[in-house]
Amino acid sequence: MKPSGAKRWLVSGRVQGVGFRYFAQRRADELGLSGWARNLDDGRVEVYAMGPAERLSDLAAALHMGPRMAEVRGVEEMEDTVQLITGFLVR
């Protein structure tokens, strides 16, 4: 699948220590997206993904919900450049 775009999200709220990065990884894998998720020092989770716009929108919707134990208070979304990444990594 040829990536058609890339997005980056900064997710705030109670999103560390609740499995958020692995939730993002599972959803991205289900959608066939490549990218990564990592915790930031300020308590947010940063997610980067690339793929077809429709699937990126599906991932964005999932990030707004988060896993059961998370409490998502905000999601900042921005366009990004396509990187040479295979699969979805938790950093």
Share of the chain above pLDDT 70, in %: 97
Please name the helix (run of DSSP H) or strand (run of DSSP E) that holds residue 54, with its range, or none.
helix 53-65
Paired tokens of 26: 């599972």
Whole-angstrom distance, CA of residue 54 vs CA of residue 62 = 13
Mean pLDDT, range 73-87, rounded to an integer: 94
Residue range 6-90, CATH number: 3.30.70.100
The pTM of this model reads 0.94
**pLDDT tens-place string over residues 56-71:** 999 999 999 999 999 9
> How many other C-beta atoms lie within 10 A of the C-beta of residue 34?
21
* Structure confidence at residue 1 (pLDDT): 46
Q: Which of 8, 14, 21, 26 is catalytic?
A: 21
> When comparing pLDDT for 85 and 66, which is higher?
66
Which of these is catalytic: 26, 27, 39, 55? 39
What pLDDT, in 10s, does the model give residues 15-27?
Answer: 999 999 999 999 9
Look up 21 and say whether it is catalytic.
yes
